[in-house]
Structure 1
Amino acid sequence: MSWLDIFVINAAYPAAFISKAEVREWPLIGWLAAKNETVFLRRGSRGHARIVNAEIASLLGRGRQVALFPEGTTTDGSQVHPFHAALLQPAIEAGAPIQPLALCYRLPDGRFTRAPAYDGDVSLLDCLKAIVAEREIVARIHVLPQLATTELPDRKRLSQRARDAIVERIANC
């Protein structure tokens, strides 16, 4: 949903993240992401995806948790796009489980808020203004059952199972 997702998830479950390469150039956020061992992906480049998979494998090999957003884009949080499965391959090869998380942003009274949404034509500054304009935003992370890559070593099926679990949880968030 937002660049904020990384900070929310990392606060509860420290991990290296996969992010679009452009984020590296963002003031402060790019610097913080790089300090957290973020792997920056040039979208649309199959050759670069192989390099990124090698970096993910290296992080996993060092015992580091790696988090990615398999939609490959942001939304307003009311829907879940199809998942891209290619970046799950290093977890399969390492025998590391996939841990789906469902993240929801709500107001204190439980109503949905799109204030953190960084989608469409929303600029980073507009997104920051929307977040600051809310008196309080509650971020909820729902940890869903792990998916064993040893039992299901097919990245497309794994990504679909993860997506299905997340969609079900988001509906009741």
Structure 2
Amino acid sequence: MSAFILFTVIALTLGVSTLLLGRRVRHSYWRVSSRLVLASMGVRLTIDDQRAPGSRRLRGALLVANHISFLDIVAMAAVAPARFVAKREVLQMAGFGYVAKLFGVLPHVRGDLGRLVPAVARAAGVLDRGRTVAVFPEGTTWCGGSSGRFRPAYFQAAVDAGVPVVPMRLTYTEVGRPAALVGFIGDDSVGTTFARIVSARKLAVTVTVFDLVLPVPDRRLLAEVCEEQIIGIDPMRQWTLAPVERSDSASSRV
């Protein structure tokens, strides 16, 4: 645990300076740092990138993934650093909220439809400037066996900006078996979840990156296509666990 804390402090401190550097250098730094953060927690990372080589250098894309743990953000950043959409409460957390704002986390207010359209428009503006935005369309964390429906609201940002969607599937295993310990369970805090993670044996995360999905005009169709790719063919879906109704990220029922 001490190695993780030390490295994370160093990574964040040095990371601030990368905000002044070019996109390529900045992204390379965060990809490497994210992989080292996972390693410091004893988590082995495997990346199954199914995209064509040229598309991996694409500027401006909406990343969407299933949501299991706070580790999801680190695992995704190890592949493609992005500005993440998160519930507004995350930006109000002592200490972490300041870091989240510094690195451009996009706030979302759950259940407030009046603020949804401006929030989606803000994400579309980021995409239109050639930046990458990441969102968890399920809108809450699940334990990895059961899953939630993909809510289509933020897919509209890709439609409006005319950028592709990149579906990602996150799968966690411990000693080769599905691992639920990485998720929020019951009244768990980030601290108790973290303690389980660092004490786990041979914990691993696999990030499967699917090929680009073009931004067709129908956001609901986009959501359905990505849900089928990420969850519908996931063999872990048959390993049934009850969902955990807690949220680190945001989406909408719209």
**Residue number among 132, 142, 151 corresponding to 2:208 in the alignment:** 142
Which of the two has higher C-alpha Rg? Answer: 2
SS in 1 for 2:77: helix
Residue 192 of structure 2 is matched in structure 1 by 126
**What letter is aligned with 2:189?**
S
1:6 & 1:15 partners in 2: Cα distance? Answer: 9
> Structure 1: where are the runs of 5+ without partners?
none
Tell me: CA distance 1:84–1:129, structure 2 relative to 1, closer, same or farther (3 Å).
same
2:187 & 2:145 partners in 1: Cα distance? Answer: 17
The structure in which a higher percent of residues are strand is: 2
Q: Is the 8 A contact 1:102 1:169 kept in 2?
A: no
SS in 1 for 2:178: coil
Query: C-alpha deviations, 1:90-114, integer Å up to 9, x for none?
Result: 110111111100001112x311111
Residue 154 of structure 2 is matched in structure 1 by 87
1:16 & 1:3 partners in 2: Cα distance? Answer: 15
Q: Is the 8 A contact 2:144 2:236 kept in 1?
A: no
Q: Does residue 54 of the first structure (1) align with residue 118 of the second (2)?
A: no
Percent of aligned pairs with the same amino acid = 32
Note the C-alpha offset of 1:135. Answer: 3.5
SS in 1 for 2:177: coil
2:234 & 2:93 partners in 1: Cα distance? Answer: 29
Residue 153 of structure 1 is matched in structure 2 by 217
Q: Does residue 14 of the first structure (1) align with residue 81 of the second (2)?
A: yes
1:106 & 1:166 partners in 2: Cα distance? Answer: 17
Note the C-alpha offset of 1:158. Answer: 0.7
Residue 20 of structure 2 is matched in structure 1 by none
Note the C-alpha offset of 1:132. Answer: 1.7
**Pairs aligned (count):** 170
Note the C-alpha offset of 1:40. Answer: 1.0
Q: Is the 8 A contact 2:145 2:236 kept in 1?
A: no
1:135 & 1:30 partners in 2: Cα distance? Answer: 31
Q: Which runs of 4+ in 1 moved over 4 A?
A: none
2:133 & 2:185 partners in 1: Cα distance? Answer: 23
> Structure 2: where are the runs of 5+ without partners?
1-67, 238-254
Q: Is the 8 A contact 2:125 2:161 kept in 1?
A: no
Structure with the larger RCO, 1 or 2 (CA within 8 Å, 6+ apart): 2
